[in-house]
Amino acid sequence: MPLVLPEKRRAVAADLRRLLGSEKVRDDVPTLTAYAVDASIYKIVPQAVVLAESEADIQTSVTYAMRTGVPLTPRAAGTNLTGSAIGSGIILDISRLNRILELNRDERWVRVQPGIVFAELNKRLACHSLLFGPDPSSGDMCKLGGMLANNSSGPHTLRYGSVKDNVQALRVCLSSGDWLEARRYGLDDPALHAVLATHPSLQTVLELVRQQADLIRAKRPTVSKNSCGYNLFGLVDGLDQAVFDLPKLFVGSEGTLGVISEATLRLVDRPKASITALIHFRSLEDVGEAVPQLLALSPSALEVMDTNTLNLIGRDRHGIPSDAAATLLAEFDQDGGLDSLREQATRLTALCHRYRLSSDPVVAFDQGQRDQLWNARKALYPTLYRYDQRKKPINYVDDVVVRADQISELIRYLEEFFRAQHIAVAIFGHIGNGNAHIVPLLDVNDRDDFARMVDGYRAIHQTVLTRFSGSICGEHGDGRVRAEFVRRMFGEELYDLFVQVKRSLDPTRVMNPGVKISDTSFTEHIDYTRLSKACATCGKCNSVCPVYDVFQSEDMSSRGWFEIVTSKEYSYLNSKRVVEACLNCKSCRTICPADVDVSELILKRRAEHPNRMAGAVFALHARPWLFDPLLKAAARTQWLWDRPRPRAWLEWITRPLMRRIAETARFPRDMVMPRLATRHLRERYPELVRIGASGPTSIAYFHGCAANYLDDGVGDAVIAVLRRHGVEPALPVQRCSGTPIQTYGHVKLVLEGARHNLASLERYDTVVTGCASCTLMLKDYPQLFEAGPEREAADRLARRVKHITEFVAESKEAPDQSTGTARRRKVTYHSSCHLRAAGVTKAPRKVLAALPGVEFIEMEDADRCAGGAGTYILKDYDTAAKIFERKRRAIEDSGADVVATSCPACMIQLNNGLRGTVQVKHVAELLRDSFESAQESRGTDPSSKR
């Protein structure tokens, strides 16, 4: 009965709401759309989503699932490639459980909750010189819960092993709703008897493993890595040492045996220094021979990319020689310092020269360079999404393992196999472990490609098992994609044992059904619609999305928004809440390896429903003869209204108007207001306005709105800096660059302003900016126009725009700077999102680091949004404040006296959030100060008019 289903769906969420409270349970269309996918090829729409905040929430959800028979799927970051974090019942998202609970430096262990992101954990451990070793390439976004449940590993498995080798204990909620302390128990330990008495299901597992120990030993994969099936091999190893090693049972069980709420992880000392080498081989045979030799040098990582992968990611783009047949990435850690690393590099280079190389090995010592080498490798899979509109990288044979010395034979077999199928394929992975990631590019909507996929799935897996005696799964998990082959990998008897283990721990089969233990074909639930879209659903953008950072919920995230705004079910009405929550910070666009701009898609949706109230304000703003006097009146009376009582009153009285912008919008009484200028920048520099109208200069300063209207010192500083560089900049007539207008959906107004600015700026060779958003918007003008003269003018302008920090960094002029103040100032840098999106990241740092009297400190999270995002601070002040928390911690931890930035809008948020605890300055202000004090010390007047 089709009509019954929605009722049922509602019933589950309604029940859970009663049990957990409405804040933690969602079943609205956008939320279910966002949670229907992970990074796999599948889609299953759940009935409800629970955002767990405590162990009690986990227990209540599990008990409810068990009582009602509704499937329950635990979920962390949803970056698995196998469809294991989606399901038809309840999605239990544990992301909000993301704290470090305890750290023991001496004994080198940490107790964490499962929602903590791997990279965050290691950042926090770094200050104790400790490290959690297993490092999936998705480490920037994946969370410990998923890593534990998948038995993840990564490039450095060679040195540190997989997750299963690094876990001391787990706390697990079993399907009975009871909690288990899963650690290694001695078989004679009375504590084990107590555990078995409380959990009879574990007694069954122990008996089964004892009885079938020989079978399990006989079926153990002979390769160095395996995440296929349940790890009964680890349990047998434990029995051989007279222990019941319970973590081994749950690590790698993919949420099918219980929900993990805590883990105690073994840590290692952080290596003191490392080198990374990139070696381009001209022949695959040589790679096969070189690998054992390289392994003898004890690398901590050894990765491979085959010739097709190099072609697909673009050889020119990554500087890869055209005749390279395969590229190896090798890393060496040393505790002995730089000298021993140099020796290692020499040994490595000498060894490599025995083979036919396309070029000398590139050896990187510097962290930045090493990161660059790794970044391309880590983002490989989503990068392949750029390759073709229809043919997408499909993960269905993505994780096989053979002996390391057989990997070139495997690659040769695979290349021939796919050549015969006429399919482009990327083969890369952890060659040191014999673990190959095989990603063919297919159009699953094409009948022939689909048939090739099914053939390839069976043939390749079978060959890996029979010819190579390998494993079908090294680290990604079985999920839905490999479940149907687990039986074939281990044979009926052992598979039956897996089934009995599952049945004893999850008798009602509510824990993540369809995953790992299932006969369902791998082609069920394939998301044919999504696989023709541009997004790889890799989740990388979530790791930088400030909204996701605060809400830890997929419906409030960049990846989720891509799903929501491109869904057939999308309507502004059902998705307004989420579509209006994006800050338009563009961090997602900057990081996306597949070249997707989620913010742009959201802006397009907003443009279908432009905000009228904001439109009225922008229309007023476009009439300076009306707007400017009003603003000046506000500036002149700021001393009167910008005090606690009037501000409280103003907040109250403006609330109905602000509500018309957004439900959450207000004029917050406690926000630190920037000082409004009583004389606007253009009035303060009439001579520059005049040369803007007619003068000979070839350089214009596009000041934008903030520098004109605010008395924040930025405009004066930019002009002073330009003058020190011998430039008398023009201030041509200009309209708002368009960023805030676009944010509220007023495309026509944006175009109007853009046309105005294009005409006004056309005659200048260089257009200098001081604002991050103006910089990006002017560079993005080409996106606003179809091909034609306007587009050409926009292209021309985009090439001529320079942020003031770029201008200074590139300038040949070297104006006198102060020789430094008595006390060196510690300066850190907040990298504004829009300037990063415009590609300007190095110049501001270079300029700051070169300032005399300044000790430049790179802060953690410098590249994260501060939450101001133009008018977002007014649109949703509370969320903006929550976003800022991370930035505040980073600034405080840096120990800086001054936080510099490149954007007047970010300065508003920084000043509001820091409240004077740390000084906030635009980079141009620091430059101007330095020039001025140099001038003063020589006894001449500075040229600034401030």
Helix (H) or strand (E) holding 49: strand 48-51
Vertex 893: Cα angle to 889 and 898 (nearest 5): 95
Q: Where are the beta strands (DSSP E) in 596-653?
A: none
Rounded distance, CA 236 to CA 242, Å?
A: 10
The alpha carbon torsion through 815, 818, 820, 826 (nearest 10 deg) reads -70
Smallest separation (angstroms) from ligand SF4 to the CB of 550: 10
- Regarding beta strands 243-245 and 259-266, do their DSSP bridges make them parallel or antiparallel, or are they unpaired? unpaired
Least CB distance to ligand FAD at residue 806 (A)? 32
Count of Cβ atoms closer than 10 Å to residue 753 Cβ: 24
| Token pair of 340 as six digits | 């021993």
- Selected range binding ligand SF4 among 120-128, 197-205, 329-337, 584-592, rule: CB under 6 A: 584-592
777 sits near ligand SF4 (criterion: CB under 6 A): no
Question: Applying CB under 6 A, which of residues 583, 717, 847, 859 lies at the interface with ligand SF4?
Answer: 583
Q: Looking at beta carbons only, is 329 or 536 nearer to ligand SF4?
A: 536
Helices (H), 397-446: 407-421
Shortest Cβ distance from residue 581 to ligand SF4 (Å)?
Answer: 8
- Among 228, 257, 352, 538, indicate the residue that binds ligand SF4 (CB under 6 A): 538
The one-character DSSP state at 107 is T
Site string for ligand SF4, 591-620 (x = CB under 6 A): -x-x-x-xx---------------------
- All residues at 6 or more sequence positions from 646 whose CB lies less than 8 Å from its CB, including other chains: 640
Pairing relation of β-strands 425-430 and 435-442? antiparallel
CB atoms under 10 Å from CB of 906, counted, come to 29
34 binds ligand SF4 (CB under 6 A): no
Nearer CB in complex with ligand SF4: 66/526: 526
Q: How far is the CB of 842 from ligand SF4 (least distance, A)?
A: 22
Residue 280 identity:
H
Q: Which two tokens stand for residue 743?
A: 């944010």
> Six-digit token pair at 367?
């962290």
* Nearest distance, CB of residue 661 and ligand SF4, angstroms: 17
Distance CA 324, CA 281 (A): 5
Q: Binding of ligand SF4 at residue 171 (CB under 6 A)?
A: no
Closer to ligand FAD by CB, 39 or 410: give it: 39
Q: Does 320 bind ligand SF4 (CB under 6 A)?
A: no
Pick what 729 binds: ligand FAD, ligand SF4, none; C-beta below 5 to 8 Å, kind-dependent. Answer: none
Out of 26, 525, 586, 825, which residue is the one contacting ligand SF4 (CB under 6 A)? 586
Q: Which of ligand FAD, ligand SF4, none does residue 585 bind (CB under 5 to 8 Å by kind)? A: ligand SF4
Over the window 365 to 384, marking each residue x when it contacts ligand SF4 by CB under 6 A and - when it does not, the resulting string is -----------------x--
**Residue 295 and residue 225: Cα distance in Å, rounded?**
16
C-beta closer to ligand FAD: residue 162 or 408: 162
Q: Are 816 and 725 in contact (CB under 8 A)?
A: no
* Cα gap 425→632, rounded to integer Å: 63
Q: How far is the CB of 530 from ligand SF4 (least distance, A)?
A: 10
Distance CA 14, CA 320 (A): 56
Question: Contact between 541 and ligand SF4 (CB under 6 A)?
Answer: yes
Is the separation of the CB atoms in 479 and 74 below 8 Å? no
Closer Cβ to ligand FAD, 515 or 579, answer by number: 515
Shortest CB 389 distance to ligand SF4, Å: 15
Question: For the chain, first and last CA: distance in Å?
Answer: 75
Q: Which is nearer to ligand FAD, 139 or 674 (CB)?
A: 139
Residue number, 31 or 537, with CB nearest to ligand SF4: 537
CB-based contact 105:130 (threshold 8 Å): yes
- For ligand SF4, the closer CB: 344 or 584: 584
**Those residues with Cβ within 8 angstroms of residue 922's Cβ, 6 or more apart along the chain or in another chain:** 712, 713, 714, 717, 770, 900, 901, 902, 903, 904, 907
Give min distance, CB of 534 to ligand SF4, in A: 7
Q: Does 113 bind ligand SF4 (CB under 6 A)?
A: no
**CA gap 779, 797 in Å, rounded:** 7
Q: Does 33 bind ligand SF4 (CB under 6 A)?
A: no
CB of residue 93 to ligand SF4, shortest distance in Å? 17
Question: Which residues bind to ligand FAD, rule: CB under 6 A?
Answer: 38-39, 73-81, 84-85, 94, 114, 136-138, 142-143, 145-147, 149-150, 152-154, 254-255, 259-260, 381-382, 475-476, 512, 515, 538
Sequence-ordered alpha helix ranges (H) in 422-514: 447-466, 483-505
How many residues lie near ligand SF4 (CB under 6 A)? 28
Please tell me the distance from the alpha carbon of residue 17 to that of residue 759, in angstroms, as a whole number.
57
Cross-strand bridge partners of residue 900: 829, 921
* Three-class SS state of 156: coil
> Out of ligand SF4, ligand FAD, none, which partner does residue 828 contact, by CB within 5 to 8 A per kind?
none
**Chosen residue from 540, 834, 875, 922 binding ligand SF4 by CB under 6 A:** 540
Shortest Cβ 357–ligand FAD spacing (Å): 26
Nearer to ligand FAD, 71 or 844 (CB): 71
What is the longest distance spanned by two Cα atoms in the chain?
93
User: Around Cβ 809, how many Cβ atoms within 10 Å?
Assistant: 17
Question: Could you say whether residue 584 binds ligand SF4 (CB under 6 A)?
Answer: yes
Query: Buried b / exposed e across 766-799, counting CB within 10 Å, b at 16+?
Result: bbbbbbbbbbbbbbbbbebbeeeebeebbeebbe
Instruction: Give the bridge partners for 827, in sequence order.
Output: 856, 898
Determine which residue in the list 225, 482, 559, 888 makes contact with ligand SF4, applying CB under 6 A. 559
- Residues 115 and 96: their CA atoms lie apart, in Å, by 6
Residue 259 binds what, of ligand FAD, ligand SF4, none (CB under 5 to 8 Å, by partner type)? ligand FAD
537 scored as a contact of ligand SF4 (CB under 6 A): yes
Per CB under 6 A, 545 contacts ligand SF4: yes
CB of 79 to ligand FAD, least distance (A): 3
Beta carbon nearer to ligand FAD, 75 or 864? 75
- Which of residues 251 and 583 has its CB atom nearest to ligand SF4 in the complex? 583
d(CA 271, CA 336): 9
Q: Which does 546 bind (CB under 5 to 8 A by kind): ligand SF4, ligand FAD, none?
A: ligand SF4
Residue 594 contacts which entry, ligand SF4, ligand FAD, none (Cβ below 5-8 A, type-dependent):
ligand SF4
Q: Of 688 and 777, which has the nearer Cβ to ligand SF4? A: 777
**Alpha-carbon distance 511 to 509, whole Å?**
6
Using the rule CB under 6 A, is 551 a contact of ligand SF4? no
Phi, psi of 430, rounded to the nearest 5 degrees = -95, 85
Contacted by 588, from ligand SF4, ligand FAD, none: CB < 5 to 8 Å by type: ligand SF4
547 binds ligand SF4 (CB under 6 A): yes
φ, ψ for residue 554, nearest 5 deg = -60, -30
**Binding-site member from 402, 444, 465, 536 for ligand SF4 (CB under 6 A):** 536
| The one segment of 419-427, 480-488, 543-551, 725-733 that binds ligand SF4 by CB under 6 A | 543-551
Q: Is 235 exposed, middle or buried (0-12, 13-18, 19+ CB in 10 A)?
A: buried
* Residues engaged in binding ligand SF4 (CB under 6 A): 382, 535-541, 544-547, 558-559, 561-562, 582-588, 592, 594, 596, 598-599
